[in-house]
């Protein structure tokens, strides 16, 4: 009996590893993933060619080798200050939610006794008309304010101050906080629903020859939502798409180029009020991404080179300021904090 029992026990033990090795069969791509794969295949050649051209140019001029150390230094600097992201700048956001009082129209900048008063910057357009940047102290923290800039720090329900300015913008860039499961799990920032996007008053802010540029994720449904629903709502027509390729300091893609779930590029969807022949189609931007989540490459130099008469400029959902631009967002000063700068 004992020997028979031992044989059965041994057979059971030998069978267990085989069951553990048995893995769930990989699911077939769903409809959304299949659509994304088709979209990926359509633009694949453009992106691969652009990246190869940059790497070839970099090798010829030894650019990649020369900038590797400096890029790494900058990334290390960013990594050191990342821990402070939930500190002073977020305090401004928290305070802004408590301020709902009506601000008199006509406020054109900081008064002498306003310096240091955090409440003085919310729900009003703040103008900094100086030809040089300054450092402002707010709530015990210091922020770098670029030259010739203005900003409105408010949530999406308080855009009246921007509308009262009466300025019609020729270029409007939006980097919306699209819904993202990973961000929701981390509670990284407040995300918007599709209904919220209809509240953005682009139609009232854009000029008769305006250009709208919207950053989207690689979900095809978002691209279609912008081009087929938001653009008609805003009175603009789809013109083209630009692409931002993310590479390492060695010129390699940050993700596998053909990965289904993560792509090493993002899309910038562009709409116009009128045909814009000077605005190139299918332009590709290539850069090493910032280690801070969702930071996009600055577009001001690119846009000013292809749209020389393009101003005035407006960035919406901004988290930093640009010289000569108007910026709006509930975190509009986040990356102006001096912790993000090197002396």
Mean pLDDT of 50-57: 84
Mean pLDDT of 56-61: 75
Q: Residue 141's pLDDT band (boundaries 50, 70, 90)?
A: confident
Cα torsion angle, 88, 319, 262, 64, sign: negative
Rounded to whole angstroms, the Cα distance separating 308 from 297 reads 19
Q: Which residues pair with 270 in a beta bridge?
A: 213, 240
Rounded to whole angstroms, the Cα distance separating 35 from 13 reads 46
Cα-flanking dihedrals φ and ψ of residue 144, to 5°? -85, 120
Strand ranges across the sheet with 265-272? 125-128, 149-153, 325-329, 313-316, 169-174, 206-216, 265-272, 237-246, 284-287
pLDDT at 33 over 80: no
Q: How many structural domains are present in the chain? A: 1
Rounded to whole angstroms, the Cα distance separating 46 from 51 reads 9
Domain that holds residue 278: 70-340
- Mean pLDDT of all residues belonging to the chain: 76
- For residue 96, being part of any structural domain is answered with yes
Omega into 26 within 30° of 0, i.e. cis? no
Q: Residue 198's pLDDT band (boundaries 50, 70, 90)?
A: confident
| Selection from 118-122, 159-163, 219-223, 286-290 with the highest mean pLDDT | 159-163
Rounded to whole angstroms, the Cα distance separating 331 from 97 reads 12
DSSP tag of 227: I
- For residue 14, being part of any structural domain is answered with no
- For residue 203, being part of any structural domain is answered with yes
Q: Render pLDDT for 256-281 as a digit per residue (tens, 0 to 9).
A: 888 877 889 999 999 999 887 778 88
Of 51-55, 115-119, 182-186, 195-199, which range is least confident?
A: 182-186
Of 50-59, 104-113, 136-145, 208-217, which range is least confident?
A: 104-113
- For residue 64, being part of any structural domain is answered with no
DSSP string, 158-200: --HHHHHT-PPEEEEEE------HHHHHHT-S----HHHHTTS
- The CATH number that applies at residue 336 is 3.40.50.150
What's the confidence (pLDDT) of residue 205? 96
Q: Render pLDDT for 309-334 as a digit per residue (tens, 0 to 9).
A: 778 999 999 999 999 999 999 899 99
- For residue 249, being part of any structural domain is answered with yes
Rounded to whole angstroms, the Cα distance separating 330 from 299 reads 20
- For residue 172, being part of any structural domain is answered with yes
pTM of the predicted protein model: 0.76
- For residue 65, being part of any structural domain is answered with no
Place of tokens 């304010």: 145
């Amino acid at each position: 009996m004992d020997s028979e029992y031992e044989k059965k026990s041994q057979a059971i033990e030998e069978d267990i590893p085989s069951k553990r090795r048995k893995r769930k069969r990989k699911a077939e791509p769903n409809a959304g993933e299949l659509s994304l794969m088709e979209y990926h295949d359509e633009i694949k050649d453009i992106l691969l060619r652009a990246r190869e051209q940059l790497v070839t140019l970099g090798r010829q001029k030894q650019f990649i080798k020369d900038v590797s150390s400096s890029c790494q230094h900058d990334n290390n600097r960013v990594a050191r200050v990342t821990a402070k992201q939930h500190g002073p700048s977020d305090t401004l956001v928290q305070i802004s939610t408590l301020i709902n009082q009506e601000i008199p129209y006509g406020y054109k900048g900081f008064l002498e006794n306003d310096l240091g008063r955090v409440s003085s910057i919310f729900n009003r357009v703040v103008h900094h008309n100086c030809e040089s940047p300054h450092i402002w102290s707010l709530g015990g923290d210091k922020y770098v304010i670029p030259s010739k800039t203005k900003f409105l720090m408010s949530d999406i329900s308080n855009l009246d101050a921007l509308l009262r300015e009466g300025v019609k913008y020729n270029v409007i860039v939006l980097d919306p906080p699209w819904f993202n499961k990973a961000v929701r799990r981390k509670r990284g920032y407040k995300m918007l629903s599709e209904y919220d996007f209809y509240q953005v008053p682009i139609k009232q802010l854009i000029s008769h020859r305006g250009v709208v540029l919207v950053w989207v994720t690689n979900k095809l449904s978002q691209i279609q939502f912008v081009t087929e629903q938001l653009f008609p709502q805003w009175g603009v027509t789809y013109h083209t798409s630009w692409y931002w390729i993310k590479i390492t300091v060695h010129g390699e893609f940050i993700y596998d180029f053909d990965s289904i779930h993560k792509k090493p590029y993002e899309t910038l969807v562009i709409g116009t009020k009128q045909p814009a022949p000077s605005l190139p189609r299918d332009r590709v931007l290539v850069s090493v991404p910032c280690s801070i989540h969702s930071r996009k490459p600055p577009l001001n130099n690119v846009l000013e080179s292809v749209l020389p008469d393009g101003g005035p400029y407006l960035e919406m959902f901004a988290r930093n300021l640009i010289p000569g631009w108007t910026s709006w967002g509930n975190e509009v000063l986040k990356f102006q904090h001096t912790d993000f700068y090197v002396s």
